[in-house]
Structure 1
Amino acid sequence: MTGLEIGIVVVAGFLAGGINTVVGSGTLITFPVLLAIGYPPVVANVSNSLGLVLGSVSGAIGYRRELKGQGGRLVRFGAVAVLGGVTGALLLLVLPADAFEAVVPVLIVVALVLVILQPRISRRLAERGADRHPHGGVPLLVGVFGTAVYGGYFGAAQGVILVALMGILMDEPLQRLNAVKNVFVAIANLVSGVVFVFVADVDWLVVGLLAGGSVLGGVVGARIGRRLRPIWLRATIVVVGCVAIVQLLVT
């Protein structure tokens, strides 16, 4: 790897770490970069999953105030994320490479619609006297598992999907949901990455470069994201999600 390529990977990691912390979809920056400089898809996917873990961790630390009082929720979601991440990683090894190509853009579109409509849906539920489960109940756990499976398989925009599900099924401020999302993504990426270590090649130089860049990006992203008003955070999620859809459809 040349000096220029090293710099490009570090910058990509920084941008992905920041975007993942605020919204999600950072993989759509780093994965194409690794492919462009010559890494095979599986090596790029594995190295990318491991390299971005620390960025999600630094983002979660930046959101530590919003995580207060959510310990039990994090344990439940974390356990489900472990199971889903392992399942997704194994599916990547046995399914055709293009198995999810058709469904991924649809998932993101549905998630964005839910993000946009979440305040209205929440008001309608309140008007009808429908009490939402404080932790989302079984439907959310099923959704978290499905999101983790997808995250273990590829992971682009898994944060967008998770925030949309939590916003509909739980009565919590958007920033607190975003904080949970950062922990969830870190666990799902770590678990799938560990699985890949035993069955696929890992480029540890790439992992280190992405980790260094994404840690700094996560810190910056947390500072920016925590200051965004809910309406602007929601708008950012929608914009980044739309960009993700376009990129998935044209690549």
Structure 2
Amino acid sequence: MTVWEALGVVLAGVFAGGINTVVGSGTLVTFPVLLAVGYPPVVANVSNSLGLVPGSVTGAIGYRHELAGQRGRLLRMGTASLIGGLVGAVLLLVLPPSAFEAIVPVLIVVALVLVVAQPWLARKLGERQSEVHVHGGVGLLFAVFATGIYGGYFGAAQGVLLLAIMGILMDESLQRINGIKNVLAAIVNLASGIVFIFVAEVAWLAVALIAVGAVIGGLIGAKVGRRLSPTVLRGVIVVVGIAAIVQLLA
């Protein structure tokens, strides 16, 4: 890797760390860059997952005020994400990439529709239930587990999926949900990364370069994301999601 290539990987990490903290889909920036500098797909995916962990952690720290009072939720959903991330990592090692690639754009489209319709859907669900479940119930835990599997396998737009399902199934503000999303994404990336360390080839230089950029991006993303109104944040989610779909199809 040349000096310019290394700088490009760091800058990709900055952008990915920032966009992951605000919305998600940072993998769609760093993964192609690692491929462009010569890493094989599986090595790039493994190294990318590990490199983005510090950025997710700094993003979560940046949202610490929004996370206040949500310890119980984090323990429940964090456990589901942890198990899901481990399962997804194992699937990456035993299944062909085509097993998930075909469904990724569809998942993102569904997530974007859910994010846009979230206020209406949440209101309708509240009208049908005597009391909206403040923690989302068993259905949310299963959805978080399933998203963790996807995140451990590839991870592109897992943040968009998490924001969509939590926004509909949980009675909470979008910014506080975003704080939870950052923690869950960090858990999934760390869980899958630990598996990869022991059983897959890791490009540690790429991990270090992405990590440096992602930490910076996570701090910037937290400062920007926390100032966005729910309407603007939904708009950002949709724009990023559409860009992710276009890149995946291309």
Fold in common (TM above 0.5): yes
How far residue 102 of structure 1 moved from its aligned partner, in angstroms, is 1.2
Aligned to 1:157: 157
- Structure 1 residues 6, 135: closer, same or farther in 2, change over 3 A? same
Aligned to 1:66: 66
Aligned to 1:86: 86
Is 1:3 matched up with 2:3? yes
Alignment of 1:158-237 (within 5 A): 158-237=158-237
What is the TM-score of this pair, normalised by structure 2? Answer: 0.98
Per the alignment, in what secondary structure is the counterpart of residue 66 of structure 2?
helix
Structure 2: any 5+ residue segments left out of the alignment? none
Contact 1:125 1:131 in 2 (8 A): no
Is 1:40 matched up with 2:45? no
Per the alignment, in what secondary structure is the counterpart of residue 101 of structure 2?
coil
Contact 1:57 1:186 in 2 (8 A): yes
Is 1:51 matched up with 2:87? no
Letter aligned with residue 204 of structure 1: W
Aligned to 1:109: 109
- Identity score, percent: 68
Q: Deviations over 1:117-159 (max 9, x none)?
A: 0011122233345422111000000000000000000000000
Letter aligned with residue 122 of structure 1: A
Aligned residue pairs, count: 250
Per the alignment, in what secondary structure is the counterpart of residue 69 of structure 1?
coil
Structure 1: any 5+ residue segments left out of the alignment? none
What is the TM-score of this pair, normalised by structure 1? Answer: 0.98
- Structure 1 residues 138, 129: closer, same or farther in 2, change over 3 A? closer
Letter aligned with residue 226 of structure 2: R
- The more displaced of 67-76 and 95-104 is 95-104
> Which whole-Å CA distance do the structure 1 matches of 2:123 and 2:156 have between them?
30
Aligned-pair Cα RMSD in Å: 0.8
- The more displaced of 176-185 and 100-109 is 100-109
Letter aligned with residue 162 of structure 2: L
Aligned to 2:29: 29
> Which whole-Å CA distance do the structure 2 matches of 1:128 and 1:88 have between them?
35
Aligned to 1:147: 147
> Which whole-Å CA distance do the structure 1 matches of 2:187 and 2:219 have between them?
18
> Which whole-Å CA distance do the structure 2 matches of 1:61 and 1:186 have between them?
11
> Which whole-Å CA distance do the structure 2 matches of 1:137 and 1:129 have between them?
13
Letter aligned with residue 66 of structure 1: E
> Which whole-Å CA distance do the structure 2 matches of 1:235 and 1:89 have between them?
31
Letter aligned with residue 208 of structure 1: A
Q: Deviations over 1:83-114 (max 9, x none)?
A: 10010001111111211111111111111000
How far residue 82 of structure 1 moved from its aligned partner, in angstroms, is 1.1
Contact 1:17 1:55 in 2 (8 A): yes
Letter aligned with residue 242 of structure 1: I
